[in-house]
Structure 1
């Protein structure tokens, strides 16, 4: 897997990530969701540089011009529920993409820190021969991405897989790199050092789903 680390170079994306992390700013759910969406747009733009293009003739009011335009069939799959604003950002740029939605959440069967990732809902078109973009803002342990990949196997074999996240932990990135095909790509804004005992990214930003949409009752 090829890892594309956005904040290795300074850009305006630093500001959006900083606001997502800042406890005084992240209380504003609207701004939090919008910043996730904006980072989806930035990461989608960077991802677009790796796609295949073909020439098309365009007629303007004053003549004609040949331009290189994307020719891939793309499916954007977001992991519910935190992936929704990220999905919107990607869809703003890949506006003719097909869409897939899947649930993956942490289930604590013993009401303690131990958890498993459950996948319970999937709505997806065929992935056969297409570019699959998997969107989840947080890449912690990597289990969500791996379980989702397994659940999508019945939808066909994608031509290429791109993971899109905002913040990841080194441990989770190492895990998905081992479990995903070699020609996969990870597009990520920033990489944090570690996970805590609960499997949350440190320093991270907290629970992205709760910050987007409000707290949920634990299963």
Structure 2
């Protein structure tokens, strides 16, 4: 059974090169090509097995087409091709529901491997460097604090005691302690000095470096 493929890339040479490569595999046939997102949406209106789309397009991001294809054709394989070798593009392709991401500089065998994986496992995602990118995203993700937690943390970083925080924010000391416990849990710390360093690391308090140093010294 021959699998139908559509290509969307605004660079004719790249698109034609991909078409020749994919057509060289006996199980695939390139059924349509487009040079912009508008072409891509028109091509998707017909039944196809695989979409290969570039990221940088003249009328928007190819990732929006990938996202649309995943929402409307859940079993379609989607391969994103790009010249951008960075975490942001890779993770955006993952979040858009792509099946694979390959670089335009990758060897032909790697491209065909990604295409085959996308067809057979459309809801999975393969890309070189994926695990490292996910690890970097996890380590750099900023904890989400409530407005009240932010106020309590700011007071702590200014060196205030629990009782002083309670008075300044019109809270009971037990409530302040509850907020502190939640702050420690969200930031993965166990004392005020570590809280100060984590706050600076994650950029949670504007201009906090001086206050953080003071808090660490008075902890």
- Normalised TM-score (structure 2): 0.35
Larger of the two Rg values belongs to structure: 2
Greater strand share, 1 or 2?
1
Larger RCO: 1 or 2 (CA < 8 Å, sep 6+): 1
Greater helix share, 1 or 2?
2
